[in-house]
Chains A and B, each alone.
Chain A
C-alpha cells in the first residue's frame, strides 16, 4: 500500500532494529524499561477486578467519568493548589501519550513551530510532525544537567514558534526543574506568549526538592496544558490512563478530537484510577522511598566504574556518559546486550544529537541492579566490588 509521506518520513532509524534484537533475546537483565517494576497495588487491581465482575464494561462519557474528574480536580487542588474545573478544564486520556497528541493537534496549524528539548521522550517530535507542525530541537547537555534554560527558550522563540514542550522530571535524563528555574521559564513564556505543554507524569518521583507544576505559578494557567497520568506514580502503565487540564477552549478542542478518535479511556482503568487517587497515597510514598535507595546505589556504582553519571533529580532513570568506552551509544548498547546480556537504551534514541550517553532505568530490583552493574563493569574491564567500591 502507498503509505502517507508524513508517516514515511517519521524517524524509525537503527534504533528499531536494536529494540527488536532486545525484545527477542532471552535471559536478559533489563535496565531498559520505561515503567515501574512494581505491580499495580492490589487495592487498585482489586477495584478493577470487582468492577468487571459487576459488569462495568461500557463506554464512559467522552471526557471521562465525572467521579474520576472530580477526584483529579480534588487531588490537584490539595496536592498543588491548582484549581481546574472538572467539567470545563479537564479531559481523561489514554495515557499521557494521547494527551500529547491531542494537545498538538488541537493547537497547531500547518508549519507552526514547537520547541522540543533534546534529548526528550521519543514521541515529542513525531506528534508535532504528525499534527503538521515543525519541531525545533533545543539541545541540552550535561553542562546544565540536561535542563532547558529560560534564556535558551527565549532565544529560540523566533517567528512562528507557537508552543514549547517540557517534561520534568524527564525521561530519559531524570532532570527536573526547581521552582526558581520554573519562574524564569514562566517569565519567558509570558513575554513570548507561547503555549506550554507540560508533561509532568513523573511528578511524584521528585527526590531532592518539591515538585512545582508550572501551571501553579502566578498567572500561568492560560499558557499551560498540564498533562499527567497514573502510569508512573501508581505503577499502572498497562491501564493506559492519563489526563489533560487546561483552559476550557483548548480542552474543548482536544475533547472534540478525542471523541472522534478515541471515544473514551477504558472504564476499567478509570475505575482503578479513582481508587488510586482516593487511597494510593501510601503506595506512592513507599515506591518513592525504594527508588531513592536504588538511585543512590546506581549513581555511586556507575561513577565508581568510570561511567560519569550526574545525580538525576527525579523519575527512575540515570543518564550516564559512555564517552570513556569510545564507541557510539547504539554500539555500546548492542555490545553490552550481546556480550553481557544487559539491556539499556542508547541515548541516540532520544534525539539525534544525544550521543555519548545511555539511559538506564533503576526501576528494577536491587539484586538485578547489582548484577547489571557487575556485568557492565566486566564489559568495561573495570574492577567492581558491590560493597566496597
Chain B
C-alpha cells in the first residue's frame, strides 16, 4: 500500500510540483486512490493559506448536477442566478459583490467575456470535470498569472487529467444520460498514453433538451381561497449543444510540463423569456460558438526558480434573433476575439520565503452587427496589461503570510478618457497555533476592480464611455479545523474525516456600475452610482464516516448568511435595504451513503437539499418585491460494477422531489420534479 501511495506521490510531484494546482491535483488523484482502495490514511496538514471550497472526483460526479452551475450551488457564499431549464442562463455571484467580480478559470486560464463580463456556467458540463474550486480572494499559491490576482472571487474548473497505471495505454469513457424534458446527453472521452510522458485526451458531448417543462402559478386570496391556479408548459426553451475538446499533456524531466488544450462549443437555443400576463411564449433564439486554444508551459530551474508561460486565443460568436413579431425585431451578431499572454516567475529565496512576478497582456475585440437598426460593423477593442508582484513567507510552522500587489492598466480604444493604472493590494495571513492540530485562523484583505465591459461602455444608447471601474474591498476572517481518525486497520473499523470552517466577511463595493435613467424619457445610461455594504458569514462542514461492512457516509453542509445593503444615498427609499436577489439565509445539505462490495462494486444513495431564503426582486424591500424562499430536495441512487475489463456505472436522479413551484428570478419559473438517468462505461 505504502508503495502505491508513493508512486502516486511521485507522479503528482513530477506532474505538478511547481504547477499551480499541484495540491489539488495531488488530492484528486489521492482521493481517487482512496476510494478505489477503501483505505484511510492521515492527510497532510492543510497548507492552504486560503482554504478553497472544493468538489471533485466521485463526489462531484454523484451530485445531482448537470452543469458546473448546478454544482456551485453547494458552495457557501455563492448565489446562483438561474433562468431555468437546461438552456437557461446560469451565473454566480460570490459574496454578493456581483457576478462580474467572479473570475472563472478553465484549466488555469480565465474564461473571458469582454462583452458583458458574465460567464454562463450552465454551459460547462460536469462530465469531464475533475474538480471545481472556489477561492475567496485569490488562490493560495503566489505562483499565478497576474490577472488571477485581479478578481474578488475565483472559480477554477479543472478537467479530467489522464493518468495511467503501468501497462495501461488507453482509457475510454462513454456515457449516456437521458431525462425529463427530452434530455439526451451522450458523452465520450478517450485518454491515450502516447509515450511515458506524453498523453492525449479527447472529450465530446452532445446535449439536447426540448425544455418543455410544466410550471404552475397558484395564488390565493388573503382568506385562503384560490385566486388563480394555472399550469402551463415552458415554450421556446430548447437547447441543442455540442462540445468537443482535445488536450495534449507532456511531462518531461522531473520538473517540466506543457499542455495544449483546444475547446469548441456550439449551441442553438431558445430564450424562453419572462412569463407575464397574456404572454406565455417568446420567440427569441440564440446561437453561440465558443472556441479557444490555450497552451501552458512551465518548468523549474535550480530547484528555486519556476517559470510559467500561458497563451490563449479565443473566438466567440453569438447570434441573437427575435422571431416574436410583437417585439422589436432583432437580428444581432457579435464576434469577440481574445488574445492572451502571461509570463509568471517564482523564486524561492529561502525555504520560507517565495517571491513572484507576473506580467499578462490581453487584447479583446468585439465586432457588433445589429442588422435591424442598421448599426453594423461596429468595432471596439481593448488592450489590457497586468503586472503583479507577490510574496509569501512562513514564520516557522505557525504563521504564513502572503502579500500581493497588482497593477492594472486597461485602455479602450474608443474611450476618450485617459487611463490611469490602478493598483490593488491583497494581504493574506494564516495562523496555525498547534503544529499537530489542523486548526488554522485565516484572514485577508483585498481590493479588486471590476472593469466596465464593452456593453457598459458602448451599448447602443445605453453605454457610457466615461465609466470608472467598480471597486470591491474585501475583509475576511476564517477559522478552519480538520481532524480525522487515522487508526483504521481493517475495513471493519470506524474512521472519520471531519472538517469545519466558518468565516465572517465584510465587503464594500463602491462606484458600482448600474443602469440609471438618463434625463430623457425611456432612456437609460450606465453610471458609477452605487455603494453596497456586505456583512456575511459562511459556515461549512464536510464529514466522512467510515463504517463497518465497507459503508461510507459522507455529508456536506453549508450555510450562508448575508446582509448586503445599499448605502448609496440616504435619501433613496431603498437606502439600507437588502440588494435584489440576495437572500439573508441560504444553505445546502448533501448526504451520501456508499457501500462497497468485496469485489469493489459500489452502491449508494445520495440526498441533497438546497435552501434559498426570502429575498427581494428589486432594490426596495417592500411587499410588492418580496420573493418567497425556495428549497428543493434531490435524490439519487447509483451503482458501479467491475465487469472486466470495464467499470460500469448507473445513476438515477430525481430532482425537485416534492415538485416545488419556484422561481430563482421572478417570472422565470423553474422545472418541477424531474428525472435523469445516466449509464456510463469506463475502460
Is B truly associated with A? no
Residues of B within 8 A of A (CB): none
